[in-house]
Chain A
Amino acid sequence: MKDVAIEIKNMSKSFNIYADKANTLKERIIRLGKGKKEVHHVLNNINLTIKKGETVALIGVNGSGKSTLLKLITKIIYPNKGSIKVRGKTSSLLELGAGFHPDFSGRENIYFNASIFGLTKKEIYKRLDDIIAFSELGEYIDAPIRTYSSGMYMRLAFSVAINVDADTILIDEILAVGDQHFQEKCMNKMKELKEQGKTMVFVSHSKDAVEFLCDRAVWLHEGSIRMDGKTKEVLKEYTKVCG
């Protein structure tokens, strides 16, 4: 069991959908007794074991539960049933630039952002040069980030997230970052991390990216695992069904 990075057992997740959510006391009292909520089952009875060093792609059409599964693995949300066990440190690249403060400089924001990932001051110092170099921001690193273009913002955010030294990296469809050149750089960096033996779970609609990076693919369909196997085979089936 030592070589298991992520272990999901009989896990289900549902959301309560309110037609119009009651956030205030007044609304809550008015709606008392009116059971207007609708339960939406996003994931049903998922069993998935990911070994250390594996690179797994999650594929599926929109709404199949891929992003929800990633959120559950990072503990942003919790399952209703079953269990999820994650060993080692995880870094999630679900959305970039968490905790960025527009009035502070790029350099200061590296501290904020990296510290959210649980890095200590020493660890951040050690990586600071790498992060700045990777972002290719040059002298702009000391300007407040409200002056950044959206591309610059994303580059900085990605540079921090990818340089956090985690055992497991979760990536959600964020490769639409920056220009062609930067995208290629990101892919190569991820390949490098894979070769270093990091565990990766990767959500993407880009078949090329999935084929380039992942050995194994899991196809989620309407909240259940439809197929789990070698990337090539799963992609072949997936293309047949979903085009």
Chain B
Amino acid sequence: MNKFKEIYNYREFLKTSIRKEFRGKYKKSFLGVLWSFLNPLFQLLVYALVFPFILRNDIDNYTVFLIVALMPWTFFNMTVIQSAASVVTNGGIIKKVYFPREILPISTATSNLLNFLITGIIVIVALLVSGVGIGPSIVVLPIIVIMQYILLLGLSFIFSSITVYVRDVEYLLNVFMMLMFYMSPIVYSADMIPAKFLPIFKLNPMFHIIKYYRDILYYQQIPNMASVMLLFLACLLILVVGYLIFNRLEKRFAEEL
């Protein structure tokens, strides 16, 4: 409980480090924060050309089908990759001053959440322009976003602290995330997976989260709320476990860095 109070006392530092991660990233570039739009937009463009035209699939409105899954994936991918570096790159200040170390992974996850919410504008525009529209199922969306944020907080705690001790994690994650990309129903639809492999795919929490985004935004259906709640609890569990790992490992950060 004390830790929460302490993090609250350091709220200004939390805010400035979120701002720094958000703004500092693009500070020297010509287009600035616009890059947080352009990056996923270009990525989308590539996939939207490759899959329908070259690999030929017959999904209606493939660009919309893709965008509603790609944006949450980018949020996931960026957060995980950046979180692995979040403590290590701040080694300088960790060795110099005391502050609740939890602030570092929290600000990585939160600045990426803000970024994701901004890219949400692209998704909404795409939904409206393409004629898919927005249905009443959108009321469930905040639950999914919060769930993903909780999952990412937990993973950020885990990867940011473990990387301090084993630097390879940062590079392993790059490879692993590529695998995860194809293990999640982003460029294809979940029902294209052969039934015998489905149980393996279902172990991946992002498999479900991506599917929920697509159900809500593209198919405009409300997902089975019982399974949403179950996954929500699983994400909370990951957060608790992640926090405990971080808490144990943080004591020797200054010595290991």
Contact = CB atoms under 8 A, between A and B. Distances in A.
Interface of A: 15, 23-26, 28, 71, 74-78, 90, 92, 94-95, 98-99, 101, 103, 111-112, 114-121, 124
Q: 10 closest A-B pairs (Cβ-Cβ)?
A: A115-B13, A98-B96, A115-B12, A25-B168, A95-B96, A98-B97, A98-B93, A74-B98, A78-B251, A75-B98
B97 A115 contact: no
Contact of B99 (A23, A78, A101, A116): A116
A111 B16 contact: yes
A117 B255 CA distance: 21
A92 B24 CA distance: 26
Nearest to A121: B12
Nearest to B166: A25
B153 to A, nearest CB: 21
Given A15-B255, A103-B28, A115-B12, A24 B166 contact: yes
Nearest to A170: B98
A121 B13 CA distance: 9
14 contacts: A15-B255, A25-B168, A71-B254, A76-B94, A76-B96, A77-B252, A77-B255, A94-B96, A103-B27, A103-B28, A111-B16, A112-B16, A115-B12, A124-B12
Contacts of B94: 76
Interface in B179-212: none
What secondary structure prevails in chain B residues at the interface with A? helix
Contacts of A71: 254
Nearest to B94: A76
Interface string B234-257: 000000000000000001101100
Interface in B1-49: 9-13, 15-16, 20, 24, 27-28
Interface of B: 9-13, 15-16, 20, 24, 27-28, 92-99, 166-168, 251-252, 254-255
Contacts of A120: 9, 11-12
Contact of B10 (A78, A112, A115): A115
Contacts of A112: 16, 20
Contacts of A77: 251-252, 254-255
A24 B167 contact: yes
B98 A92 contact: yes
A78 B252 CA distance: 7
A121 B96 CA distance: 22
A230 B212 CA distance: 70
A103 B24 contact: yes
Given A25-B168, A98-B97, A119 B12 contact: yes
A75 B12 CA distance: 20
Contacts of B251: 77-78
Contacts of A119: 12
Nearest to B10: A118
B91 to A, nearest CB: 11
